[in-house]
Structure formats: C-alpha cells, structure tokens
Chains A and B, each alone.
Chain A
Amino acid sequence: MTSPLFEARGLTKHFKVGGNLSRKSLHAVDDVSLVINPREIVALVGESGSGKSTIARLLARVYEPTSGEIRYQGKSLRSMRTRRQTMAYRSDVPMVFQDPFSSLNPAFRVSHGIMRGLKLHRPDLGRAERRAEALRVVEAVGLSPAAEILDRYPYELSGGQRQRIGFAQALAYRPKVILADEPVSMLDVSIRVGLLNLMTALRADEGVSFLYITHDLASARYVSDRLLVMYAGHIVESGPTESVLADPKHPYTQLLLSAAPDPRTPLEVSGSDIGEPPRVIDPSPGCRFRWRCPLAIDRCAIEDPLLRELGPQHSAACHVASAVADAVSAE
C-alpha cells in the first residue's frame, strides 16, 4: 500500500456572515476527513452549497482552514511557509475551473498562459524546451495541430477546446493531483464525455490523481474509483464508487440517486422532497439531513451521526443505517 498523497483530518471552514457585529457563521465544511491516493480519481458529489468547492479551495490553499489539518505527501500544509515550498505545492496541485469562458485571459494567445506557468514553475527549462513542453501538453489533452492551437486566442476555441487548454495548463506543471471543480458542467452534452475520457487518459499516461467535483452522479460513476457524498458541509457517505451506487447506505445518497434522470430506466416517483437547500448558518447539533429525511428518528435531532464503516471501505454517517447494520450483524 502506497502512502496517500493527500490526507485531511477534521477539516473545518467557517465563514463569518452578516455585518461586523454579527456573530453568525456559515459552516461551509465541518469536520471532514478524506484521503486521495496516487493515481486515483476521487469524485466529490453534492448539491450547490454543500461545501464541495470549499474543500477544493482548502486543498488548493486558496483558503486557510478554520481548524483541522491537511497533509500533503506526509507534510502538513501549515508547515509550508517559504515561497519555494508554496510554489512547489501549487505546481503539484493545480486547479481546473468550471467556466472555460472566464478562466482564460481573452487578451492573450493560448500559449501565453501555458508558457507563463512553465516559466514560473519550471525555471530550469530554456526557451526552446518551454515551447516543446507546451506543444507536448497541448497534444496530451487531445488538441492538434498543437502549434496552431498555441497561437490562437481563446475566442477562437470552442468551450470543449478551452476546457482542454485548462487541463493542458495544469498538466504543464507536472502535477500530482488536479483539482477539477465541475470541469464539464458548462459544456454541451456531446463533448462532456470527451473531457471525462481525457481525465482517465491523463491518469493512465501521466499518473495524475484527480479530485473530480460534480453534482452529476452519472459522470462521477463514469470516471471515479471512489465516491464521497457531501451534504451541508459533512461527508455523509464514502466508498468505492460501484459499491456506493449499488448499495447506497445514506438516505441522502438514495435521494440523489433516485433523482438522477436516466432515460434508459423508467421513472421512479419518489416522495415529495422539493430539494430545499440545507441551512448551514450556525447549525444546531444533530444530523443536518433530518429535516428532509424519510427515516429520521429522535436520536437524529440530538446527536451528530459520525462516519462509520458499514461495508468494505464503505462508510456512511447515519444513525438509522448503522442501526440496521448492527441488527444484521447480530443475527
């Protein structure tokens, strides 16, 4: 077993909301622990406001955590203080953003973004080597002819091509983990699959890990090895993708799964849940899903459920699911 690339423990991020005198805080991420292994694609799934992008930003060091610790290759992020360490970290863990129309500078050619990154993060390369490397990464993301693409402006590219450039920029730094925040949700259906295939190809060819953030369970299933389901700042279920989707333990995962449209199967009409977002401003103790949960019991309003292993590497944070598991093992 190789040691994990990322290991987060008790990761928490609160944001102050309201005016200067306000003491309210928004619990975007609460007590989250997660692991990303080398050459692994981990999907982080949840609805908007569940805290999944905040996790990506914590891992990218855009935000400092309120509490908790992130270790990268065994070293705490807090201990990386020097500019050199910070730069090395940023080139190991780049981000790819959701909107390919606003994440590239429209005033410069495509080559500008890639070359600048190379100059900054890999100063050992000479001019010709930089050019060669830029050509290599553009080809690696499936764009050709690479030389011609490098000389284009972003407006000359389609959405799918721009998003590929986003991946090429990330790739130029020789990354270990790419944090991809909803990379395909703005793209047309017919080109999404190409980008998802690109992620698996980059893992195979370049050995990169991915944290794939999405609200779309079907695409998460398509690319990922492991699945983390978030609700209201907590991870409520985690495990190997197939086992989570084949046998979802948490009622929220079950709800998400039943709401995902699939033209190949008939419609299951489920409950009257209208998809109201959770309230995470100064939440009271207890399970945050209990307001919407069809299975909620008294205990759910008193005690926070903790993630507990209910199957091989498959955990869920639900009092009811763990009571069911206890009953089954007692038999």
Chain B
Amino acid sequence: MPSDRVLDVRGLTVEYGTDAGAVVAVDNVDLHVGPGEFVGVVGESGCGKSTLLFAIARLLSPPAAITAGTVDFRGDNLAAMSEKELNVLRWRDLSVVMQSAMNALNPVKSIGAQFRDTLVAHGNAKAEIANRSVEVLKLVGIDPIHLRSYPHQLSGGMRQRAMIAMALLFTPELVIMDEPTSALDVVAQRSLMVQIKELQERLGFAVLFVTHDMSLVSHFSDRLVVMYAGQVVESGPTRTVFDQPAHPYSRGLLDAFPSIRGPRLHLTGIPGRPPELRNPPSGCRFHPRCPVEMGHCKAIAPDLYPVGTSHARCLQHVPAADTAAVMP
C-alpha cells in the first residue's frame, strides 16, 4: 500500500439481497484519500453514495453486504475486521458524522453524557474527560455550558456542530461525513462548511464528504468523485471537474444549477430519470439520458479512462492505443 494514503478502497462491491435477487448498489468502486485531503463524493439519490460510505465505515446492516473488494485504512483491511477490532478504531482513528444529527444523537442523554460514553469506551481518565469535552465544544464554537443541554434544546446548526465536536473527541485521521449540512439553511450551511474546512486545516484530518449538492463542495474539496448508478463515472481535482467536466453526466449536473450571478440562461437539466439498480441499462449506464450518446454506448460498458488529470467512465475518452480492443 502506498503510505501516502489514509484510505484506499479497491474494487468495493456492495449488494442488497432482495426477493428478486441481488441488487448491486456499489459496483467495483476504487477510491483513495490522502492524509489531510478533502474528497467529495457527489451523485443523485440512489446512486449508491451513502451505501459506499456505510460500507467503508462498516456500518451496513443486512440485507446489504460487502461482496468484494478491500477497504484499506492505514494498512489494515476494514472490510475483513471483526466488530471487536473495529471498536478500537472507531471514534479514535476514524469517525462518522451522520446526515441528521437529530437522529444520530441520543435524545434522552445530555451532550456531555454522550461525549463521556465515547471517551470512556476508549479508556480515558475521568479528569481528562471533562477537559476534552469542553475543548472540543469550544473548537466548534459552542459554549461549553451546552454540555448539560439535551439535543432538543439546540438549534439544527448547533446539533450538527455538536456531532462534529464528537467526531473530533480524539484526533481521528479520517472523518467521514454523510450530507452533514443538508438539513440546514443556506447561511448555516455555508458557515458550517467554512468551519469544517478550518478545523481540517488546523487539525490535519482527512475528510470523505458525501453530498448530492455539487455546488456545496465546489469551494472546499480537493478532489471530487462523481457517482452514477453505483459506479464512479468521474474523478479528478475539484476545479478540473468543474471547469472541464469530462463525463457528460458531470457536465449535465453542472448545467442543471441556475446561476445566481452572471447571465440568466435557459437550462435543460438532464432528461429522464436515474436508472433502477435492479435492472441497470446495458453498456454505459448513462446512455439512455446522454446527449452525446454514440451508437455503441448501448453495447460496450466503458471503463475509467484517464483524461488529463481526471478519470472518466465514457467511451469518448478511450485512449487511442486501446480503441481496437475496446471497440471491435
């Protein structure tokens, strides 16, 4: 494993067992996160982004299960670990911030008590616990008096901040975030993003950030991974993906955002609807909605091909040397 990666996911596949057979929600995904790096995973509902994140954190519950691939975290394969081994890592080296803090926090325990549980589980001394709890709350800009507060006494923004504080109780190397800002208003959303970025730069943890809103991460992430129908369709440096999207789906997503400044243009969005994973389209999974579909897209399933500094899963980008092999 290259030592410059905190997380290295290879060939990860997750299937949901259903009465009608297995549904592949995450299909052979490769992904890596470097130390202190901010990686955004974007895609629409049902594209498998949350399933991917749950699989990485080993939080899947039946009928979902990892059926192939490895999740390398600092040299250990998370996918093969037992619960006991995972418990040592969780919160300490790897923490997760969920979408809805209202549901992720225990409603009948004060914030302080929940922090204490986490610290005690990792064998912290009593004196240290109070200090550390106060410290992390200050870190996210909440008055430590709220250690005595219950989740319902905090506003939505404060609850999300408390969740982030909890994720930083130890000094994790990787924080996984699943749409932590989606329940918030624009102003609160923006301020939370700025704060996450500041904390990240100060404390040096890496972030894997899942969202459906591409514009949200545009200013914060180093690299972007775009998912469609369970597959990675594009990955590359954030600015490159925004300025020169290589996959027609990424381009379509970008063109679907009305601009708030600049000229008022007529937009079209992406026609059709995301495919059902139960029965994905043949060939390139995006071909039924693709504006530049070329006859053979129906038949040939594209691989991820290099395009400049990015990678895209599109037959337009087949390297010249491989053309004969890919397109007979």
**B-to-A contact residues, CB < 8 Å:** 44-45, 141, 155, 157, 184-192, 194, 212-216, 218-219, 242, 252-254, 256-262, 264, 266-271, 273-274
Q: Write the A226-258 contact mask toward B (1 if CB under 8 angstroms, else 0).
A: 000000000000000010010000000001110
Residues of A within 8 A of B274 (CB): 158, 188, 190
Inter-subunit contact A263/B185 (CB<8 Å): no
Residues of B within 8 A of A218 (CB): 257-260
Inter-subunit contact A263/B187 (CB<8 Å): no
What's the minimum C-beta distance from B30 to chain A, rounded to whole angstroms? 24
Residues of A within 8 A of B215 (CB): 261-263
A263 interface neighbour in B141, B189, B257, Cβ under 8 Å: B257
Closest to A267 in B: B219
Residues of A within 8 A of B253 (CB): 189-190
B44 interface neighbour in A188, A265, A269, Cβ under 8 Å: A188
Inter-subunit contact B191/A275 (CB<8 Å): yes
B260 interface neighbour in A48, A197, A257, Cβ under 8 Å: A257
Docked CA distance A276–B192 (Å): 11
**A-to-B contact residues, CB < 8 Å:** 47-48, 158-161, 188-194, 196-197, 215-219, 221-222, 242, 245, 255-257, 259-267, 269, 272-277
Closest to B267 in A: A193
Inter-subunit contact B260/A260 (CB<8 Å): yes
Inter-subunit contact A191/B188 (CB<8 Å): no
A-B pairs, top 7 by smallest CB distance, nearest first, are: A275-B188, A193-B269, A275-B187, A263-B218, A222-B258, A190-B270, A47-B185
Inter-subunit contact A160/B273 (CB<8 Å): yes
Most buried by B among A188, A191, A255: A188
Docked CA distance A215–B157 (Å): 16
Residues of A within 8 A of B186 (CB): 47, 215-217, 256, 259-261, 275
What's the minimum C-beta distance from B201 to chain A, rounded to whole angstroms? 13
Inter-subunit contact B259/A262 (CB<8 Å): yes
Inter-subunit contact A190/B44 (CB<8 Å): yes
Docked CA distance A299–B50 (Å): 50
Residues of A within 8 A of B155 (CB): 276-277
Residues of A within 8 A of B261 (CB): 245, 262, 264-265
Residues of B within 8 A of A256 (CB): 186-187
Docked CA distance A159–B262 (Å): 30
What's the minimum C-beta distance from B226 to chain A, rounded to whole angstroms? 12
What's the minimum C-beta distance from A19 to chain B, rounded to whole angstroms? 17
Main secondary structure of the interface of B (DSSP, over half): loop
Most buried by A among B188, B212, B258, B271: B258
Docked CA distance A217–B189 (Å): 14
User: With A189-B253, A189-B257 in contact, is A263–B269 under 8 Å at CB?
Assistant: no
Inter-subunit contact B256/A193 (CB<8 Å): yes
Inter-subunit contact A273/B191 (CB<8 Å): yes
What's the minimum C-beta distance from B208 to chain A, rounded to whole angstroms? 19
User: With A192-B269, A260-B186, A261-B219 in contact, is A217–B191 under 8 Å at CB?
Assistant: no
What's the minimum C-beta distance from A250 to chain B, rounded to whole angstroms? 14
Docked CA distance A217–B191 (Å): 17
Docked CA distance A28–B23 (Å): 46
Inter-subunit contact B185/A222 (CB<8 Å): no
Inter-subunit contact A189/B216 (CB<8 Å): no
B258 interface neighbour in A158, A160, A193, A275, Cβ under 8 Å: A193
What are 15 A-B interface contacts by the 8 Å CB criterion? A161-B273, A188-B44, A189-B214, A193-B267, A194-B268, A215-B185, A221-B264, A222-B258, A242-B264, A255-B187, A261-B186, A263-B215, A263-B218, A274-B187, A275-B188
Docked CA distance A188–B259 (Å): 17
Docked CA distance A161–B272 (Å): 10
Inter-subunit contact B187/A190 (CB<8 Å): no
User: With A189-B256, A219-B258, A263-B214 in contact, is A276–B157 under 8 Å at CB?
Assistant: yes
What's the minimum C-beta distance from A277 to chain B, rounded to whole angstroms? 6
User: With A47-B186, A48-B185, A218-B257 in contact, is A264–B262 under 8 Å at CB?
Assistant: yes
Most buried by A among B214, B262, B269, B271: B269
Docked CA distance A201–B284 (Å): 33
Residues of A within 8 A of B190 (CB): 259, 261, 275
Residues of A within 8 A of B184 (CB): 275
Docked CA distance A260–B218 (Å): 12
Residues of A within 8 A of B242 (CB): 263
What's the minimum C-beta distance from A30 to chain B, rounded to whole angstroms? 20
Inter-subunit contact A269/B194 (CB<8 Å): yes
Residues of B within 8 A of A269 (CB): 194
Inter-subunit contact B256/A192 (CB<8 Å): yes
Most buried by A among B219, B252, B257: B257
Most buried by B among A47, A160, A261: A261
Closest to B194 in A: A269
User: With A48-B185, A191-B273 in contact, is A264–B44 under 8 Å at CB?
Assistant: no
Residues of B within 8 A of A276 (CB): 155, 157, 188
Docked CA distance A12–B25 (Å): 49
Residues of A within 8 A of B191 (CB): 259, 272-275
Residues of A within 8 A of B254 (CB): 263
Inter-subunit contact A245/B188 (CB<8 Å): no
Closest to A186 in B: B45
Closest to A159 in B: B45
What's the minimum C-beta distance from A200 to chain B, rounded to whole angstroms? 9
Residues of A within 8 A of B268 (CB): 193-194, 197
Residues of A within 8 A of B187 (CB): 47, 255-256, 259, 273-275
